[in-house]
Each structure stands twice: as C-alpha cells, then as structure tokens.
Amino acid sequence: MSQDKPFIHPYIPNSAPGVKAEMLKECGVESVDEFFSDVPEELRLRGELQLPPPLPSEESLRRHLERILAKNRTCRENLSFLGGGCYQHQVPAVCDEINRRSEFLTAYAGEPYDDHGRFQALFETASLMGELLEMEMVNVPTYDGFQAAATAIRMAARMTGRPKALVARTVNPDKLSKIRDYALGAVEIMTIGFEGRTGELDLAELKKGLDQDTAAVYLDNPSFLGTIEGRGREIAEAAHRAGAEMVVGVDPTSLGVLTPPVRYGADIVCGDLQPLGMHLNFGGGQAGFIATRDEERYVMEYPSRLFGLAPTRVEGEYGFGDVAWERTSFALREKGREWVGTASALWGITAGVYLALMGPKGMAELGEGILQRSRYLALKLNQLAGVRAPALKGASFKEFVVDFRETGRRVAEINAELLERGIFGGLSLSPLFPELENCALYCVTEVHTQADLDGLAEALKEILG
C-alpha cells in the first residue's frame, strides 16, 4: 500500500495484493490512508522510519542474533557463584516442556471456560505454594519478588491505616530502592540495621523504631546476605505488640528445611518464584508471590488476581473464577487496590510444575544439599590465608559473605582474575554495604559439585598467593 510493489511477509497474511484490493473494496475505500483520516496531516510521518534493513528470512534473522549472542559467556560455560536474587538451580525438562506449549505460551486473558487449564494450573501453583508456606491465601504471581515486597508493605499500611514501615537493611539494596519508590508519599520507609557479627536484625534498634505509627516490619529470611534470622518469633511478637504486621520475604527453595515464616508469626509472606523452575534468563525469570491467612481483611487488600475453586452446574466438575473481583483496578479503576495487569503467569504455572515434580522429598534434599555445599565451601575458603568465611557468624542458607580484607587484594581484582579462569566470583558488597567493605557474596546451589567448589578454592589460593 505504501509503495507500488507489494510487500509480502510471512507474518502478514493479507498483504497479498488481490485480497487487499478485495477488502478495500468491501470497505468502500480506495486506499488504507482513508482509515487514518482522523490523524491530522501534521502528525503523519513523512517517509519511512529510519531502521536497519529487514531480515525477513528466518536464516538471516538467526544468523544476525546468533552472532550477537555469541558474545555472551554463560553460567553453563563458566562456573558461577553469583546469586543476589537470581539463582542457578536445576531446571527440570518438564518445566520447559510445559511453559513452551503453545496453549499456555500464547494464551492471555480467556474466560474460565476457554482457559480452564490456565485457571487450574495457577490455582494449583497457589495451592502448592500454600503447602510450602503453610498459608491458605496465595495470589496469582505479580512481576517479581521486589513488587511482592513493596505491595505487601502497602497492604499492611492500608490494613493498619498507619504511615510507616521498618525494613531490615539486610534486604537486597535494589529491592529497598524499589520499595522506596513504591511507598513514596504513602508509607515512610525506615531501615533497621543488623548485628555486625551475625547479620541478624538489630533488635534494640527495631524496638526503638516500633511505635503506633508502624504498619509493618519487613525482613527477608534468609536475608540478602544469606543469613538465617533465628529470632523471628521475637521480632514478630515485638511487631504485634506495637500493632504492626510482620512481613517476611522468603526464598522458597529454603522451605524444605527451614521453618515457614507463618510458624514464627509472619502475617504476610512474599518472595520470588524464579528458583522454582525458571532459568536465569538474565534476570527475566522472576515472578512474585504474596501469601496471607485466609481472612477477609487481608484478602480485600490484595491488588492481584486471586483464582478460586468453584462448583459448576455439573456435579463433580471443578470450575474456577476470580475471588473478590470487586477490589481490583480492573473492576474499579483508581478505586481498586493499587493495580492489576499482565504480570508473570507463565512463570507461575512453571513453579507449580516444579513443586509437583519435587514433592516434599525433593524440597528437603534440595535444602539440605544447599546447606551442606555452602557450609563446605565456607570451610574451604576460610582456610585460605586472609580470607574469612563465613564473615557473618550466624547460620546461612545458599549465600554467605566472604571477607577478603586481610588478603590485601580488592574483590574487583580477585574477580577479574577468577574470570580469566572461567569463574564468576561472588558479588562485590563494597558498593552496597559500607560495613562489608571488600567482602563478596558467594552463592552455592545444588548445581555445584565438589570439584566446582574445590576448583574455586584452588583458584583463589593461586590468586591470593
């Protein structure tokens, strides 16, 4: 239409000139331009967009992208000890098989009739997470664990009508940044420090900060620094005495061995599903969950979709639908709770597949194996001259802080030398935590073998001399 020579592309069936002419005739117009008659002339783009030439054959497109992507060096080609909120775990083949199915991959927002499968799968994910967390109300996933934390805090603020939240400084600094942006003007965010020796929350500071304005206490357990908070009950009791909600972010892979937060008094539990069957995806596999008790005052504060089980007019048939729809922004626009929209449903379905495959034994073995491997690596690294591992003396899960201060070498230099050996060293903590100057956060999961861990220790020994 734009030019005389027809433009035929495999993605656009009606580009063929004959059918196009027939359809224009049916519409009673000479040219497609007539459909744009409401677009003022001065807004019409003259000439073509200045874009790189098209690559209409699949082969040319593949070539182009494969050449670019070849510059990436991956965590399968190298040995990675990076974590910090995105984790390298075993991804069962069945997880990929299911999330690549056209029926799930390309569906969107069908009714509970034409999309029964999506409703059931997401109900099951909520149910499986409900068992892992021992909580009865779980949402359809939001964008990521950051959003889940930020929303959980705003839910607590709405429930309590209070303007302040106390957030442990041992959360991911990026997550804290997200929470601050999201809470701005609605909830004042105050941080609570940690015990320098153990990494656990500074209880004295917490108790000082708690008052009648406190809507929520938020902490991650395990924390961003990998430490396990052992005084959850004490923290929850202090929060509850002040009338605040206890909100805990949790790594779901820890829950085969660690106590679910509800057992030590958490009211709202949240986190990220990425470790449950999603590839690293350069951080693109995140999906956030939020869970509470099944009480109306909590349920009515969720912004998310909530899929519930319901009977149909046929006996014994499972149907599904939206629970308490009249609280969402879809129903109420600005009068709804925050907003709801496209988020991370496919990853939500995948996490359900993962938990169904793992079962209770898989989750227990996963958790214990991670504890064993990270303990082993810490012991190994601690033997290196000048290295302290774990630098924080509390118990840890999956990640732990390694202190290189006494080695005389900077983390950045060490990591550069590790990279030469095909190893992605731990995340440098210097820019993030002033008190952990020249420390690094090392992450160990079930993908690491003894040879991997020994290899890292050997490499560090060489580098540190």
Partner 1 sequence: MRDITKERSENGRPVLRRFHQARWDEPIIFELHAPGERGIMVSRPEEGIREAAGDVLAGLPQGMRRENPPALPEIAQPRVLRHYLRLSQENLGADLNVDVGQGTCTMKYSPKVNDQLAASPKVAALHPLQPRETVQGMLEVIYRFEEILKEISGMDRFTFQPAAGSQAIWVNASIIRAFHAARGEGEQRQEMITTIFSHPSNAACAQTAGFKIITLYPDQDGYPDLEALKAAVGPRTAGIMMTNPEDTGIFNPKVTEFTRLVHEAGGLCSYDQANANGILGITRAREAGFDLCHFNLHKTFSTPHGCGGPGAGVCGVREDLAKFLPVPVVEFDGESYWLNHDLPLSIGKVRSFHGVAPVILKAYAWCRSLGARGLKEAAEVAVLNNNYLMKKMLRIKGCSAPFAPGRPRIEQVRYSWEKLFEETGVHSEELGLRAADYGVHYWTSHHPFIVPEPCTLEPTESYSKAELDEYLAIIEQVAREAYSDPELVKTAPHNSTVHTIDHEPLDDPKQWATTWRAYRRKVAGEGG
Q: Which of 15, 195, 237, 433 binds partner 1 (CB under 8 A)?
A: 15
* Distance of closest approach, residue 207 Cβ to partner 1, in angstroms: 20
For position 420 contacting partner 1 by CB under 8 A, the verdict is no
**Which residues, 345 to 364, sit near partner 1 by CB under 8 A?**
345-347, 349, 352-353, 355-364
For position 2 contacting partner 1 by CB under 8 A, the verdict is yes
Q: Which is nearer to partner 1, 211 or 300 (CB)?
A: 300
205-213, 242-250, 335-343, 402-410 -> range binding partner 1 (CB under 8 A): 335-343
67-75, 163-171, 203-211, 385-393 -> range binding partner 1 (CB under 8 A): 67-75
For position 321 contacting partner 1 by CB under 8 A, the verdict is yes
* Distance of closest approach, residue 135 Cβ to partner 1, in angstroms: 8
Reported in sequence order, the residue ranges of 183-227 that DSSP labels E, i.e. its strands, are: 188-192, 214-220
Q: Which is nearer to partner 1, 175 or 409 (CB)?
A: 175
> Cβ(118)–Cβ(261) under 8 Å?
no
Q: Which of 79, 122, 167, 262 binds partner 1 (CB under 8 A)?
A: 122
For position 74 contacting partner 1 by CB under 8 A, the verdict is yes
For position 393 contacting partner 1 by CB under 8 A, the verdict is no
> Cβ(194)–Cβ(168) under 8 Å?
yes
For position 206 contacting partner 1 by CB under 8 A, the verdict is no
Q: Which of 30, 161, 313, 434 binds partner 1 (CB under 8 A)?
A: 313
Q: Which is nearer to partner 1, 112 or 243 (CB)?
A: 112
For position 260 contacting partner 1 by CB under 8 A, the verdict is yes
> Cβ(225)–Cβ(392) under 8 Å?
yes
Q: How far is CA 310 from the centre of its chain?
A: 29
Strand duo 423-424 + 79-80: pairing: parallel
C-alpha closest to that of 445 among 200, 251, 220, 229: 251
C-alpha closest to that of 286 among 341, 348, 340, 357: 348
> Cβ(300)–Cβ(285) under 8 Å?
no
**Which residues, 276 to 295, sit near partner 1 by CB under 8 A?**
279-287, 294-295
**Which residues, 425 to 444, sit near partner 1 by CB under 8 A?**
427
Q: Which of 161, 185, 434, 465 binds partner 1 (CB under 8 A)?
A: 185
* Distance of closest approach, residue 190 Cβ to partner 1, in angstroms: 17
Supply the DSSP symbol for 290.
E
Side by side, the strands of the sheet bearing 439-443 are: 399-403, 439-443, 427-428
Q: Which of 197, 208, 339, 462 binds partner 1 (CB under 8 A)?
A: 339
Contacts of residue 451, defined as CB under 8 A and 6 or more positions apart, other chains included, come to none
C-alpha closest to that of 310 among 460, 143, 173, 120: 120
For position 275 contacting partner 1 by CB under 8 A, the verdict is no
For position 212 contacting partner 1 by CB under 8 A, the verdict is no
Q: Phi and psi at residue 439, in whole multiples of 5°?
A: -110, 160
Q: Rounded CA gap, 235 and 206, in Å?
A: 8
Q: Which is nearer to partner 1, 211 or 338 (CB)?
A: 338
Q: Rounded CA gap, 199 and 429, in Å?
A: 14
Structural Rg of the chain based on CA atoms: 26
* Distance of closest approach, residue 204 Cβ to partner 1, in angstroms: 19
* Distance of closest approach, residue 220 Cβ to partner 1, in angstroms: 13
106-114, 163-171, 401-409, 456-464 -> range binding partner 1 (CB under 8 A): 106-114
Counting every residue written for the chain, the total comes to 465
Cβ neighbour number for residue 125 with a 10 Å cutoff: 29
Cβ neighbour number for residue 230 with a 10 Å cutoff: 13
**Which residues, 363 to 392, sit near partner 1 by CB under 8 A?**
363-366, 368-369, 371-373, 375-376, 379
Phi-psi region of 2 (alpha: psi -120 to 50; beta: other; left: phi over 0): alpha
For position 190 contacting partner 1 by CB under 8 A, the verdict is no
